[in-house]
Amino acid sequence: MDAGHFWPGPFFNLIVLGGVKDGKETCNGPQLHFIPREKPVPKRRPPTRWEEFARLKGIRKKKKTNLVWDKEQNDWRRRWGYKRVNDPTKEWVIEVPESADPNEDQFAKRATAKKERVAKNELNRLRNIARSLKIKVPTLRITPASQPSKSELSKAIHVAKTSTASVGKFQAKLPKEKELRNKAKKRKFQPLIGDFSAEKQNQLELLKVMAGKKPKLDLPRAVNGQLREDEQEQAAKRKKVGPKGKKGHKKQNQKDGKGQRRKPANKKGRGK
């Protein structure tokens, strides 16, 4: 009972009487006290490249319903994502295009293409985050480092030089600069116009080899193959015979014709 007398006090202290109207007292709610913020107001997120492009072109986002009626399943399905309508990954047969290899696995090709799309979207997402934070993102496969090594610097210089239209042919070299190792060589093609003597000679040599009665014999390769076969035969014979000086034969059965085991000879009686 004593506790019941004390709890209405703090409650009525929070109520501010507003006045009397039609013989009834009206009360306002508790007064509001504005407390200053501890941290500043968060800044607005900078727009992505697509949002800037849509703003320049006047493209507006249209809201679409998430569910779509699927005529094949006679049910409402999601427009995107898991269990979506007309999901191509659920097809049990895929038509092979005319230009594609008939022995190529189209299911594996589709799975690989999906993984590439997912990786590309993730890369674009990380690039947008880096742009918003004003961080330089490398366009090539060279990651920035605070203290790059000598090999990384040489690779970056090589990439910068070969990015020109002449593929670095007319770029000046630094003093004591070494060429990059394991550098990909540029393919050479025969000229389409002009002297065709080299191409004619290559075709004649190919026809000569194809039309020849005796095929061209690689003597060192043939001799090495024959020696290898002889060594394999000798090794197989050694396994069958067994090593010298050791008992390579199987133990004979110490049973007589009647099926009884014969007693071993007495060693003590041999000397008598």
What are the tens digits of pLDDT across the range 215-234?
667 788 888 888 999 999 99
Percent of the chain with pLDDT over 90: 10
Higher pLDDT, 101 or 140: 101
- What is the pLDDT, as a whole number, of residue 100? 86
- For the chain, what is the total number of helices (H) and then of strands (E)? 7, 4
Strand partners, 75: 70
Query: Sorting pLDDT into bands at 50, 70 and 90, what band is 244?
Result: low
Higher pLDDT, 86 or 184: 86
Residue 45: which of 138, 135, 128 has the closest Cα?
128
Question: Which of 68-77, 158-167, 259-268 shows the lowest per-residue confidence on average (mean pLDDT)?
Answer: 259-268
Exposed e or buried b for every residue in 103-122, given b needs 16+ CB within 10 A? Answer: eeeeeeeeeeeeeeeeeeee
- What is the pLDDT, as a whole number, of residue 43? 86
Average pLDDT over residues 64-68: 88
The DSSP output letter for 88 is G
- What is the pLDDT, as a whole number, of residue 272? 44
Rounded CA-CA distance 165/183 in Å is 18
Which of 60-64, 134-138, 232-236 reaches the highest mean pLDDT? Answer: 232-236
- What is the pLDDT, as a whole number, of residue 115? 92
Average pLDDT over residues 78-99: 85
- Judged on CB neighbours under 10 Å (0-12, 13-18, 19+), 148 is middle
The DSSP output letter for 98 is T
Mean per-residue pLDDT over the chain, rounded: 76
167: left (phi over 0), alpha (psi -120 to 50) or beta: left
Containing H/E element for 200?
Answer: helix 197-211
